[in-house]
Copies of this chain bind each other. A is one copy, B any other.
Amino acid sequence: MPALSIGDLARRTGVPVETIRYYERMGLLPKPPRTEGNYRAYEAAHERRLAFVKRSRDLGFGLDAIRALLDLADGADRPCGEVDALARDQLAEVERKIADLTAMRAELQDMLGHCRADTVADCEIIGRLRGR
């Protein structure tokens, strides 16, 4: 496989070019070698690392957590307790957000269900935002 340009890598991973450069600046991706014309030249290892980052982002991990996951992934014979702890923290965070959003959804649905679509003066939504 020949070296990939940043655009090639973007197409293959679905991560925008600007975001790849941002990840490099943030230390998630190693600085790749450059061509004569100063273009980044990626290899398969870079693509695997970026795919790892993308899957982690898709699960909502923050960039700090991803840096930690990448470090852990490099040490094959270490116990995976730290990995699991990061995943559990992330799960807890996701569950907290779901709980918040579920409460918002219930209130919005209830407001909308009670509104008789009349004037603003007796609109249930405005009324509740005012505090009854």
Known: A108-B59, A129-B56. A120 touches B77 (CB 8 A): yes
Which of A3-11, A19-27, A81-89 interfaces with chain B? Answer: A81-89
- Per-position binary interface string of chain A over residues 80-101, scored 1 when its CB falls under 8 Å from any chain B CB and 0 otherwise: 1101100110110011011001
**B73-A118 in contact (CB<8A):** no
Q: Is the interface of A mostly helix, strand, loop or mixed?
A: helix
A97 to chain B, nearest CB (A): 5
How many angstroms from the CA of A96 to the CA of B114 in the assembled complex?
22
**A119-B76 in contact (CB<8A):** yes
A13 to chain B, nearest CB (A): 11
Interface size on A, residues (CB 8 A): 50
Q: Is A12 interfacial (CB 8 A cutoff)?
A: no
**B84-A125 in contact (CB<8A):** yes
- Add 17 more A-B contacts to A55-B128, A80-B118, A95-B105 (CB < 8 A): A48-B130, A51-B130, A51-B131, A52-B131, A55-B131, A56-B129, A72-B120, A76-B121, A79-B117, A79-B120, A83-B115, A83-B120, A83-B125, A83-B126, A84-B123, A91-B112, A97-B97
What are the nearest 4 A-B pairs in CB distance?
A: A80-B123, A76-B121, A91-B108, A94-B105
Q: List 21 interface pairs A-B (beta carbons < 8 Å), by A numbering.
A: A51-B131, A69-B129, A76-B119, A76-B120, A77-B120, A78-B120, A80-B117, A80-B123, A80-B125, A83-B123, A83-B126, A84-B117, A84-B125, A87-B112, A87-B115, A90-B108, A91-B108, A91-B109, A94-B101, A98-B105, A101-B101
